Amino acid sequence: MFDILINGFTDPHLFGLPFGKYFLALILLLLIGWMLSWLLKLARLYTLAFLTPKGRVTRIVSHVDGDTIRVVPEKGHTKNTESIRLIGIDTPESRKSLYMDIAPFGKEASEYTKMRLPKGQRVILIYDQAKQDKFGRTLAYLYLPKGEFFNASLLRDGYAWTAQYPPNVKYAAYFEKLQVKAQAKAKPIWKIYEKKGVLTKEFKKSADYRKFAHYYKEKK
């Protein structure tokens, strides 16, 4: 590899091309540009997390639902864990509560989040305008250490719907575009829902829905 790099700038016919050394230089410049862009993105995230009130770095402690996790609380926080509700997205419920019933695809969405955000995973939380909801949960955009925007991943991979609640609408337009693309590609959640909370007629007639209805009736 090093021989190629060294010879690339002395052999004008590298790879059989008359301008081989220029081709190699272009590839190297593109790689360097990509790496610098990636590093700058990470630097921005960590700067926001460490040096401003807009966010912080923490670790996953447990999972509540597809769109809600628990993390190590901020320094000085009295609770053992802190509930984080992901901004701009909503997943079907996987647990019955005072406010919501279990919904089809809730378990699948929850399992996706558990798989992607295992316990102990370091994550970056970035806040928007409102930091907490009426239930006392912290509202945040979640990024993985390499820069992946997890809120967006849930939409892109078809495990969530958009759910915009002002004033936290910084990425509303971007999230809507991701949802439209996921729906057009019939990503997982769109195989059984025609829109948020509304099951398709085909799914309601399926054996999977009958199985879910029976399971839910037992859970009641």
Query: Which of the residues 56, 70, 82, 85 is marked catalytic?
Result: 85
Query: Which of the residues 70, 93, 116, 218 is marked catalytic?
Result: 93
Q: How far apart are the first and last CA of the chain?
A: 64
Beta-strand relationship, 122-126 and 55-65: antiparallel
**Amino acid in the structure at residue 177:** K
**Is 108 part of the annotated catalytic residue set?**
no
**Token pair 């990503």: residue:** 187
3-class secondary structure, 157: coil
**Is 210 part of the annotated catalytic residue set?**
no
Sequence-ordered strand ranges (E) for the chain: 55-65, 68-71, 82-86, 89-90, 122-126, 138-143, 161-162, 193-195, 198-199
Query: Which of the residues 108, 116, 137, 176 is marked catalytic?
Result: 137
**Is 137 part of the annotated catalytic residue set?**
yes
List residues with catalytic annotation: 85, 93, 137
